[in-house]
A and B are shown apart, each in its own frame.
Chain A
Amino acid sequence: MKQPETSMETIDQIATKQGAAEKDGSAPVLAVEGLHKSFGSQTVLNGVSLAVSRGETLAVLGRSGTGKSVLLRLIIGLEKPDSGSVLIHDQDIAGLGLDQLGEIRMKMGFLFQHSALYDSLTVQQNVAFPLLHHKKEMSKSERNDRAKELLAEVGMEGALEKMPSDISGGMQKRVGLARALALEPVILLLDEPTAGLDPISAAEIDDLVLKLKQEHHMASIIVTHDLHSAKTVADRLALLNEGNVVIEGNFEDLQNSDDGFVREFLKHS
């Protein structure tokens, strides 16, 4: 396992060196290697390895409770792995302090399954929140303008002053997505972006994710159990079962698989 570097200069140097390779999509921006995670006696992840390059979208599929969301939480450092490594620009985030991890997290956007909007802030304030804390050079009006731009990008420009409780679940996802994009991340992590939405709202979110992918050229991981959504937005799919990646490839690879679990998953999706 690589030793964690603590200097942000080192992170930036690594990022610069890899810049050219990342731009043509050849080097992974994000890689997880041999991730193990257990809660008590329950093993959730049992040696998961995945990698995503810039501009690529990977969909992680699997049954409920197979550790898909835990995988995203490990990637962004909200949980610590029992073993294995999470590499962002080849930098292992294990062992980093909260503030050092914060520097890495600024390169990542995270959409929570239930959006996790701040319920005491308006929609606009929610989106401006990361800017308020990390773009100190921006004036209040510049922050508000940027928040408006981001909300317009996700089609929520008409709800600036509304509270999160006053908008629908689909709208909350859009606002969550705008907030995740606020710091112009190079990695986007989406936890069940279409869960709990009607088919039309789910399709709208899929279209939005596709649009953002084309415009921002980010490395994205989408955790979902919605095969249709995964097929629409992802370049590659990885199917998790019992803590391991059963198969990784495009949709055709899944369809052509002889694995019993893969066939059963596709049959019921």
Chain B
Amino acid sequence: MNDRKLNAVAVIHPLLPGQPLVPVSPGVSSSKGLINQFLEWFGDLGIFFWRVMCAAVTPPFQVGELFRQLDEIGSKSLPLVALAGAATGVVLSMEGRFSLTRFGAKSLLPAAIVFSIIHETGPIITGLVVSGRVGAGIGAELASMKVTEQIDAIEASAVNPYRLLAATRILACILMLPLLTLAADLSGLVMGWVAQALVEPISFHQFISSGFKGADFNDFLPPTFKTMVFGLIIGLIACFQGMRTRGGAAGVGRAATSSVVLSSLFVILADVVLVKLILIFFP
């Protein structure tokens, strides 16, 4: 690159304290900034997680608040998760029937539905639905408390906000995700059978027997319990984004949005890793 071109793309950094005047290309500058921001975010998340862990394992335990959050996160997400699971079951049944018929494997339809739901679609649909409903809820609630100084007021009242607000919500997410996944699996299987039975009559018993033929606990337990990791991700990111909010109503909106976006993204990324680990350790 000649000098003229270099000058054309070069910018001078703003005069920050202690920073020398160095020509830097805008692309390099912005990508460095992004990397720094990302690393800083991860560092802050790690510190936040450590504080929550320390608070969670030391008394006084906030049992009442934990039960309130179990209800808020678990019971109130149940209808949405069950509906999403049911819709998935119907779609899998319709699509599976169409595809398997083309390859002459129609008899495998119950097994295809059952394995798809318990292995992957049930857990991931639950994770994504909960990250949407609960992630936004926690992010917005804590952000609103933060900008109105309610979290400071909790701290000033000598109550540890990491224990009262974050640990309870994160633990509730971890505990409720597997149960919600069971609900999604069940409604998916039932509605998958209904969709199948409407086209070609088959008893539920026969559908389940055929579907679970050859399946064992390794097909069922690891995928269900991997959603505890999804719960940790959703609760942690939503609490973190909420409790570090600044900037009034706009900040609350940003916290809610970023809670959903980041928790959904990390749930999907974690799923990739967890599926690989499950395949290695539970072949």
Contact = CB atoms under 8 A, between A and B. Distances in A.
B152 A102 contact: no
Contact of A114 (B145, B148, B154, B164): B148
A130 interface: yes
A24 to B, nearest CB: 28
Interface stretch (A45-53, A104-112, A240-248): A104-112
A11 to B, nearest CB: 13
Contacts of A118: 145, 150, 153-154
A101 to B, nearest CB: 8
B156 interface: yes
Interface string B137-180: 00000001100111011111111101010000000000000000
A112 B158 contact: no
A236 to B, nearest CB: 24
Nearest to B153: A116
Contacts of B152: 73, 78, 112, 116
B157 A130 contact: yes
Contacts of B19: none
A76 interface: yes
Interface in B36-67: 51, 55, 58, 60
Contacts of B158: 101-103, 105-106, 130, 133-134, 183
Given A99-B58, A129-B157, A130-B157, A116 B149 contact: yes
Contacts of A110: 153, 156
Chain B interface SS verdict (over half): helix
Interface residues of A, number: 29
Contacts of A130: 157-159
Contacts of A168: none
Contacts, number: 66
A114 B149 contact: yes
Contacts of B58: 99
Interface in A122-163: 129-130, 133-134, 136
A98 interface: yes
Interface string B237-279: 0000000000000000000000000000000000000000000
Interface in A188-221: none
B64 to A, nearest CB: 9
A179 interface: yes
B155 A78 contact: yes
A238 B154 CA distance: 28
A99 B160 contact: yes
B104 interface: no
A43 to B, nearest CB: 12
B28 to A, nearest CB: 24
B159 A133 contact: yes
Interface in A82-111: 98-99, 101-103, 105-106, 108, 110
A256 interface: no
B159 A102 contact: yes
A77 B150 CA distance: 15
A37 B152 CA distance: 19
A98 B148 contact: no
B148 A116 contact: yes
B153 A98 contact: no
A96 to B, nearest CB: 12
B77 to A, nearest CB: 19
A144 to B, nearest CB: 16
A119 interface: yes
A7 to B, nearest CB: 17
Contacts of B17: 41
A173 to B, nearest CB: 13
B162 to A, nearest CB: 7
A182 to B, nearest CB: 8
Given A41-B17, A116-B150, A119-B148, A98 B160 contact: yes
A112 B148 CA distance: 10
Contacts of B55: 98
Interface in B108-137: none
B153 A112 contact: yes
A110 B162 CA distance: 20
B149 to A, nearest CB: 4
Nearest to A106: B158
A67 to B, nearest CB: 17
A71 B144 CA distance: 24
B60 A76 contact: no
20 contacts: A98-B55, A98-B155, A98-B162, A102-B158, A102-B159, A110-B153, A110-B156, A112-B149, A112-B153, A113-B149, A116-B148, A116-B149, A116-B153, A119-B148, A130-B158, A133-B157, A133-B164, A179-B157, A182-B157, A183-B158
Interface of B: 17, 51, 55, 58, 60, 144-145, 148-150, 152-160, 162, 164
- Shortest Cβ-Cβ A-B pairs, 5 listed: A102-B158, A116-B149, A105-B158, A116-B153, A110-B156
Given A112-B153, A179-B157, 8 more contacts: A73-B152, A98-B51, A98-B160, A105-B158, A106-B158, A130-B157, A133-B164, A183-B157
